């Protein structure tokens, strides 16, 4: 009986997880610069770094110390990163750094556009590397 319940719960979890991932490839229209939704919360993240490596994970956005500033923390494939951002219109400008990674320390910048649905999409750079990566974050 206990094994059947465990299998049932695992099946429900996987089904809900797959359903939550469906349709996450598209973002909504950009938010008007004077009417941006609240971006505080947790997000599922998908991206490609400037080297073309795909990654995924979670992003948490919390309020900063002053108006329109935010603290960000990513837990992504192989790394934990933290950053500070400033919202200007519908664009979130971020400086980030790695705080834990098997590949060593890195840092860079990001610029995300906020959509009417509260999604974030944009580019990320890694200092010392040419090019930009892309990242999309979907509210959980």
pLDDT 10s digits, 97-119:
999 877 788 999 999 999 999 99
- pLDDT surpassing 70 at residue 137: yes
pLDDT computed for residue 107 by the predictor:
94
pLDDT computed for residue 66 by the predictor:
97
What is the span of the domain harbouring residue 77?
A: 38-139
Whether 67 is in a domain gets the answer yes
Taking a C-beta distance cutoff of 8 angstroms, is the pair 88, 70 a contact?
no
**Total number of domains in the chain:** 1
Q: Which one, of 110, 121, 113, 137, lies nearest residue 36 by Cα?
A: 113
Taking a C-beta distance cutoff of 8 angstroms, is the pair 112, 137 a contact?
yes
Q: Which one, of 25, 62, 71, lies nearest residue 47 by Cα?
A: 25
Higher pLDDT, 38 or 15: 38
DSSP structural state of residue 131: S
Q: Distance between CA atoms of 86 and 138, rounded to whole angstroms?
A: 19
State the pTM of this model: 0.80
Whether 46 is in a domain gets the answer yes
Whether 22 is in a domain gets the answer no
* Predicted confidence band of residue 25 (pLDDT cuts 50, 70, 90): low
Q: Domain of 63: which CATH number? A: 2.40.128.120
Whether 68 is in a domain gets the answer yes
- pLDDT surpassing 50 at residue 33: yes
pLDDT digits (tens, 9 = 90+) for 43-86: 999 999 998 999 999 999 999 999 999 999 999 988 999 999 99
**Taken in order 63, 76, 140, 48, is the CA torsion positive or negative?**
positive
């Amino acid at each position: 009986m206990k094994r059947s319940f465990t299998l049932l719960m695992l099946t429900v979890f996987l089904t809900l997880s797959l359903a939550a991932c469906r349709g996450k490839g598209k973002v909504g229209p950009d938010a008007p610069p004077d009417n941006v939704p609240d971006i505080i919360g947790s997000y599922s993240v998908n991206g490609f770094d400037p080297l073309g490596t795909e990654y995924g994970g979670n992003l948490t956005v919390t309020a900063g110390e002053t108006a329109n500033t935010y603290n960000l923390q990513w837990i992504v494939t192989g790394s934990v990163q933290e950053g500070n951002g400033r919202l200007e219109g519908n664009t979130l400008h971020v400086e980030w750094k790695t705080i834990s990674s098997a590949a060593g320390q890195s840092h860079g910048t990001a610029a995300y556009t906020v959509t009417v649905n509260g999604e974030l999409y944009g580019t990320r750079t890694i200092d010392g590397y040419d090019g930009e990566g892309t990242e999309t974050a979907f509210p959980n």
